[in-house]
Structure 1
C-alpha cells in the first residue's frame, strides 16, 4: 500500500536538513501535462527512420519495442544498430520548452532548502539545461548526472545509481530522491535514500508503485517542497 500524501504534521521537518536532493527532470520538476516528450517522441521516430532507412511506422514500433526492452530507445539502438548516441541526443532534444510554466513555489522552496541539489536524468545535459533555464532554477543545482555520465545505462538499472553516489560523494541515508516513474525509485530506496514519488496520470509512471520503496507520494512538487520548508520553520520556532 502506498503512503498517503504527506503534510507538515507528518515528520517532513526531518527531511529539511538532508545533505543531498536528487531530482529527476522530466514530468518531475514540471507538470506532466506539458507533454514535452510528445515532441521528443516525434523527433526520435524521424531520426530512427532516416538512420535505418525504414518507414516511420516501422521506426515507431521499433522505438517503443526498444524502450520496453532496454529502458531507453537509445540503448536499444546502440546495442542493436551501433547508433552514435551524440547526434541522436542532440537531435531528439532540440525541442520547444515554452510549455513549461513558471513555478514560483518551486523556486522559493529550492531557495530555502539547504543541501546539495542534483539532477539525475535519462536525458541529456543540454535538455536539462534548457528545462532548468525555462523554470528559472538552473542556479539551484550543483550537478547534472545525465545518460552520458551514466555510460548510457538508463534508470532503473542499479549501476548508474552507484556511479552517481560515488562520483558525487552522496551518502544515500542522508539523501532524498524525487521521481515521477515509480520503478526508478527502487534502486534508490535499496541504497538507503528517502524516496518521493511525484504522481502523474501515466500508466507507465505508475508501474512498480506497489511496495515499500516509495516513502512519500506527492501531486505537486513545488507545493510539497514548500511544506517541507514550512515544517522545518515551525519546528525551529517551537524549540
Structure 2
C-alpha cells in the first residue's frame, strides 16, 4: 500500500491524506524519519568541495521535513553548502486540512520557483528520481538525473555519480559574471551518495 500511495501521490504521507486519514504531520515525520539509520551517512568531502567551488546559488528542494533535511546535510558535512532548504513545511504550511504539495507535481516545482525566486530557464535541477526529473523539465528547468548512466525522459544530462559533475558539466565553473545559473538540488541526491 505504501508504494502505491507513493507512486500515485508523490509521498506515502500525501497519499494517506488524500484518502482522508487525519494525523499530525510532525508526528508522522518524527516516526518515519526517527527510525532511519542516520549513523550510516558519512561526510562527503568530495561533494562538499564540489558544491563550495560552484559560483551559483544552491538550494535544496526536498519532500522531506526540515528536521530530516538538516540532519542529512549535517551528517554529510554539507550543512553550509546551500543557501536554503525548500522542504515539506515550506510547501505545506499548516497543511493538515488540504492536499499535500510535493514533488513530482508540477505545482510543487512552480511553488519552489516562486519561493526560491529563480528563473527555471537559468536553473539546473539535480535529482535521482526519474519522475521528478520529468516534472522539473515541464516546469522549465535544465535537468540532471543522478545515479543513472543513461538519459531518461526529461533529463538534459545523466550522471552515474554526483561526484562526476565537474567532468560532465564543466560549464558550471566557466560562467561569465552576471550569467550564473542557479542550482536547485534535491536532497535525495546527497542522501544517496556513498562516501
TM-score, length-normalised on structure 2?
Answer: 0.76
Give the corresponding residue for 2:62: 121
Asked which structure has the greater RCO (Cα within 8 Å, sep 6+), the reply is 1
Q: Residue 109 and residue 226 in structure 1: after superposition, are their counterparts in 2 closer, same or farther (change >3 A)?
A: farther
Higher-Rg structure is 1
Matching of residues 54-203 of structure 1 within 5 Å: 62-80=1-19, 81-94=21-34, 95-151=36-92, 152-199=100-147
What displacement does 1:176 show?
Answer: 0.4
Question: Across the two proteins, how many residue pairs are aligned to each other?
Answer: 166
Deviation, 1:86, is: 1.6
| Distance in 2 between residues matched to 1:129 and 1:181, nearest whole Å | 20
- Unpaired runs of 5+ residues, structure 2, are 93-99, 177-195
**Structure 1's 148 and 231: CA in aligned 2 closer, same or farther, altered over 3 A?**
closer
Select 2:165's aligned residue among 217, 224, 230. Answer: 224
Conserved in 2, the CA contact under 8 Å of 1:78 and 1:84? no
Structure 1 unaligned blocks of 5 or more: 1-61
SS at match of 2:39: coil
CA separation of 1:230 and 1:159: change in aligned 2, threshold 3 A: closer
Deviation at 1:229, TM superposition (A): 5.2
Q: Residues 172, 197 of structure 1: CA spacing in aligned structure 2 closer, same or farther, 3 A cutoff?
A: same
